Amino acid sequence: MSEHLHNALLIDYLRRELPPEDDALVLAHLEKCPACRREYEIEISLSESLRTAAAREELEFPSMIAARVWEEIRSARPSPLAQFVAFFRPAVAVPLVAAAAVAAFFFAMPLTGHESSPKINAAYYLEAHAALQAQNPLDERGPAAVQLIEVAAQDTSAPTELADDVNVGLAAPSAFDAVR
């Protein structure tokens, strides 16, 4: 290494990002070259100045941010699509099951001639449906609703939905073990 060191190399050295062999070469050069040492000291002082300036300007966490975050969370309602799906989940699923049961009944016994039983079944399902509607997740005040939402939060749809929303690499921090 007869040439002077490039600043890029000095910066990597300063950041301790060089592989050991390069690190040793830079160290050896700095020990015998005042010009590069001077340059390296300027790089060090730039880093120190940045840290000093940052420390001097350190701001407190404004309490209004926390207040606004909580406010936003409290005022947030499910999206219209989520509301639609939540509303129709019991309303559609239950009658569908009922209809399927009725269809299966007729398909399985086309010749028996009994017509009253399926209607009773359907009525039963509709009643069940009505009971479910009373626990509609849209009614956020009811304890039943809270339970439903808690269960919903535990199913896999919640994180998936959020992943798009958040637009972060969810596995990203895996390389960092220390909690800084």
Partner 1 sequence: MGQPTPEQTAFLERAMGQYGKATYNFAYRLTGNESDARDLTQEAFIRVFKAWRSFQPGTSFLSWIYRILTNLYRDELRRRKGRFQEELPEDNAPQEFAGQRPMAVTPIEDYVERQLSEPLSRALAQLSAEQRQVVVLADIEEYSYQEIAEIMGCSIGTVRSRLHRARALLRRLVERAQKPTS
Binding interface with partner 1 (CB under 8 A)? 7-8, 11-12, 15, 17, 42-43, 46-47, 49-51, 53-54, 56-62, 64-66, 68-69, 72-73, 76-78, 140, 145-146, 149-150, 152-153, 158-159, 162-163, 165-180
Q: Which of the listed partners (partner 1, Zn ion, none) does 33 bind, with a CB threshold of 5 to 8 Å by partner kind? A: Zn ion
The amino acid at 120: I
- Contact partner at residue 122 from partner 1, Zn ion, none, CB < 5 to 8 Å by partner kind: none
Query: Rounded distance, CA 106 to CA 118, Å?
Result: 8
Q: How far is CA 79 from CA 51, 64, 109, in A?
A: 43, 26, 44
Q: Which partner, partner 1, Zn ion, none, binds residue 56 by CB below 5 to 8 Å per kind?
A: partner 1
Which is nearer to partner 1, 134 or 170 (by Cβ)? 170
Q: Between 31 and 41, name the residue whose CB sits nearer to partner 1.
A: 41
Give me 117's structure tokens. 């039983």
Classify the C-alpha dihedral 110-113-119-121 as positive or negative: negative
- Give the shortest CB-1-to-Zn ion separation in angstroms: 8
Q: Which helix (H) or strand (E) holds 22?
A: helix 20-32
Q: How far apart are CA 9 and CA 19, in angstroms?
A: 11
Q: How near is the Cβ of 44 to Zn ion at its closest, in Å?
A: 16
What does 4 interact with, of partner 1, Zn ion, none (CB < 5 to 8 A by kind)?
Zn ion
CB of 7 to Zn ion, least distance (A): 11
52 to 11, 12, 45, 49, 59: CA distances (angstroms): 18, 21, 10, 5, 14
